[in-house]
Amino acid sequence: MEQEREEKVSKNFIEQIIEKDLAEGTCKAVCTRFPPEPNGYLHIGHAKSILLNYGLAQKYGGKFNLRFDDTNPTKEKTEFVESIIADVKWLGADFEDRLFFASNYFEQMYEAAVKLIKKGKAFVCDLSPEEIRSYRGTLTEPGKESPYRDRTVEENLQLFENMKNGMYADGEKVLRAKIDMASPNMNMRDPVIYRVAHISHHNTGDEWCIYPMYDFAHPIEDAIEGVTHSICTLEFEDHRPLYDWVVRELEYEQPPKQIEFAKLYLNNVVTGKRYIKQLVEKEIVDGWDDPRLVSISALRRRGFTPESIKRFVELCGVSKSDSVADYAMLEYCIRDDLKLKCARMMAVLDPVKLIIDNYPEDQMEELDVERNLENPELGMKKVPFGRELYIDREDFMENPPKKYFRLFPGNEVRLMGAYFVRCTGFEKDADGNVTEIHCTYDPETKCGSGFTGRKVKGTIHWVAAKTAVQVEARLYENIIDEEKGVYNKEDGSMNLNPNSLTVLKNCFVEPAILGAEPYDKFQFVRQGFFCVDVKDSRPDALVFNRIVSLKSSFKLPK
Ligand code: ATP
Ligand code: MG
């Protein structure tokens, strides 16, 4: 059913463009790219771009490049290169050996600039950055031409070479494209394409002291790699005329085409690098991969799967107008993905002892239970049962309201996969906290015994005390106070939710959990999906992140 519906979904506007280009022969074989700047960790928005570009290459039998757009030496770090490669691979976007660095094209970019100078399409300008700004004009007034605009080709070639040879200080001279100071598009008013910057670059060291500007470099990178469709986000729409100018003036035979789509935004979620950095630096979160964040490494650590992220970005769709998705949709996607994949476990997060007074003191038995009732392929397991159990504190009430069907004095419930028990009493400490609950069991009611007697309305989960494994569970809420929204309008800070992390150190899980490895995922019945934490979990002290609870108000859009 679901598949049928998905196949009927009409093609997005980028697919329509590509199919037209293929049909008309202006594109022979599709090549896309993901071009991150290695200046931070990737987040869910980048995942959309990665999966979109990779998906298009797959769909049209083309190629997909991972290219580091590392032309700005001030902000970039090798640390980020490694994390980005790991994230792209994890998402399943296989770039094979098509890994490129824009900084390897500096020589070709330099030659491209020389070509423009020779064509009379670029000039060296001595105006200061402030003067360039004031000469630029405004949206309503045209700009003023630079007094250096009419330098001869020979003079420009010499000055540009001098720039390259380190003869000028930063900001002393720039190379500008000669386009049109009266253009209604500010990006076309003789934009700067090369600047002097005496800064070491993480890849090329001190080889260069001039660096190309993004708008000049990017189309060249695309053209060199044979990218056919250069997909970027909407803020570059106004830069497209410059992109087209660069590839036209450089006379590339197969010029790439820029296509813009709307960024992915998540309601009440922090995605901006600047803000995540703030949270990391102020130690409000445990690094870039804190499970409350939506960087790819954080989502992975929390327990999201590549499949769930892919499903999510597909549901978000591709469009030209900004829209905001709900985190609840991402939660829907992970629940749906894990529902059949994960083994289910009984885990008690807030334990209180339940003692079965009529169960023999030293006896233990093993019950046969399916690992996942909805997926028999996961097989069966043994669950130990004994006289003393742990149950969750909220499954017992001394004075229950109406419609409370769990344990209370006199009431009978089913212990999941085991027997019926009837509550006979309980004990409290001096502060009024329940310390233990007493009950009796009915041996006739053993699960799977064919018992067809009386019915009970409540079923609760439990863990046998003797064999229980003590673990830590971390429960998460949005790090943002959703009532107030992400940003505090007065001082630009973030509105944080003080309850975004709850650490429960005294949880008990059935022994089948032993041996769980980082990233292993389970459904703790009635509690949610949990994932073994990669940073803090140890074989003898397991730590679990709650990926998502089981309850959902989200409905898949029709
Ligand atoms: P941010 O400012 O959010 O960290 P960025 O745009 O600075 O992101 P880049 O490394 O420049 O990050 O982006 C790499 C690619 O990812 C670009 O093609 C960019 O358009 C795309 N991208 C970035 N953010 C999003 C988003 N929210 N949704 C979709 N694509 C995005
Ligand atoms: Mg950027």
Token pair 């069907």: residue: 405
What DSSP letter does each residue of 425-485 carry, written as one string? EEEE-TTS-EEEEEEEEEGGG-TTTT--S---S-EE--EETTT-EEEEEEEE--SB-TTT-
* pLDDT band at residue 1 using 50, 70 and 90 as cut-offs: very low
**pLDDT computed for residue 8 by the predictor:** 52
For the chain, list the domains and their CATH numbers: 105-211 (3.90.800.10), 349-461 (2.40.240.10), 470-548 (2.40.240.10)
Average pLDDT over residues 211-230: 98
Pocket test for ligand 1, best of 12, 48, 49, 231 (most atoms within 8 A of CB): 49
Distance CA 107, CA 85 (A): 25
Each residue's pLDDT tens digit, 129-159: 999 999 999 999 999 999 999 999 999 999 9
Q: Which ligand is nearest to the CA of 318?
A: 1
**Is 346's pLDDT higher than 70?**
yes
Q: Which of 328, 68, 90, 83 is nearest to 203 (CA)?
A: 68
Residues 442-448: contacts with CB under 8 Å, at least 24 apart: 443/419, 445/414, 445/419, 445/420, 446/418, 446/419, 447/367, 447/414, 447/417, 447/418, 447/419, 448/368
- Give per-residue pLDDT as tens, 116-125: 999 999 999 9
Give the mutation target among 233, 295, 323 for probing the ligand 1 site: most ligand atoms within 8 A of CB: 233
Mean pLDDT for all residues in the chain: 95
Q: What pLDDT is recorded for position 79?
A: 84
DSSP secondary structure code for residue 295 in this structure? B
Task: Tell how far the Cα of 45 is from the centroid of ligand 1, in angstroms.
Answer: 7
Task: Give residue 46 CA to ligand 1 midpoint distance, Å.
Answer: 5
Structure tokens at 258: 């820029």
Nearest protein Cα to ligand 1, atom 3: 272
Cα 180 to averaged position of ligand 1 atoms, centre (Å): 29
Point out the ligand nearest to the CA of residue 235. Answer: 1
Using the 8-state DSSP alphabet, how is residue 162 labeled? H
Q: Which ligand 1 atom is at minimum distance from the Cα of 38?
A: 10
Helices (H), 60-105: 78-90
Kindly give the distance from the C-alpha atom of residue 214 to the centroid of ligand 1, in angstroms, as a whole number.
Answer: 14
Ligand nearest to the CA of 34: 1
pLDDT digits (tens, 9 = 90+) for 398-445: 999 999 999 999 999 999 999 999 999 999 999 999 999 999 999 999
Ligand 1 atom nearest 231 alpha carbon: 18
Q: State the closest ligand 1 atom to the C-alpha of 236, by its place in the atom list counted from 1.
A: 20
Q: Of 538, 542, 541, which is closest to residue 530 (Cα–Cα)?
A: 542
- Residue whose structure tokens are 């003023």: 144
**Structure tokens, 516:** 């769980």
Please state the atom number of ligand 1 nearest to the C-alpha of residue 42. Answer: 4
Question: Once rounded to an integer, what is the mean pLDDT over residues 178-205?
Answer: 96
pLDDT in the model for residue 2: 47
Pairing of strands 122-125, 99-101: unpaired
Kindly give the distance from the C-alpha atom of residue 43 to the centroid of ligand 1, in angstroms, as a whole number: 8
What distance lies between CA 205 and its chain's CA centroid? 32
As given in the structure block, the two tokens for residue 159 are 């000055």
* Ligand 1 centroid from CA 39, angstroms: 11
* Token pair of 229 as six digits: 């469709």
Atom 27 of ligand 1, nearest CA residue: 45
Contact 40, 82 (CB under 8 A): no
What Rg do the C-alpha atoms of the chain give, in angstroms?
A: 31
pLDDT, tens only, 268-311: 999 888 888 899 999 999 999 999 999 999 999 999 999 999 99
Task: Write the residue with the smallest CA distance to atom 22 of ligand 1.
Answer: 46
Ligand 1 atom 18: residue of nearest CA: 232
Asked whether the predicted pLDDT for residue 110 surpasses 50, the reply is yes
What are 521's two structure tokens?
Answer: 């995922």
pLDDT of 535 strictly over 50: yes
Q: How confident is the model at residue 66 (pLDDT cuts 50, 70, 90)?
A: very high
The rounded distance, in Å, linking the Cα atoms of 513 and 524 is: 10
Phi/psi region, residue 314 (left: phi>0; alpha: psi -120 to 50; beta: rest), is alpha
Sorting pLDDT into bands at 50, 70 and 90, what band is 547? Answer: very high
Query: Which one of the ligands is nearest to 276 CA?
Result: 1
Q: Which residues surround ligand 1 with Cβ inside 6 Å?
A: 35-37, 40, 45-46, 48-49, 232-233, 263-264, 271-273
The residue type of 483 is E
Q: Phi, psi at residue 45, to the nearest 5°? A: -65, -40
Q: Whose CA is closest to atom 26 on ligand 1? A: 45
Report whether pLDDT(538) > 60.
yes
Cα-to-centroid distance, 74 and ligand 2 (Å): 13
Ligand 1 atom nearest 40 alpha carbon: 4
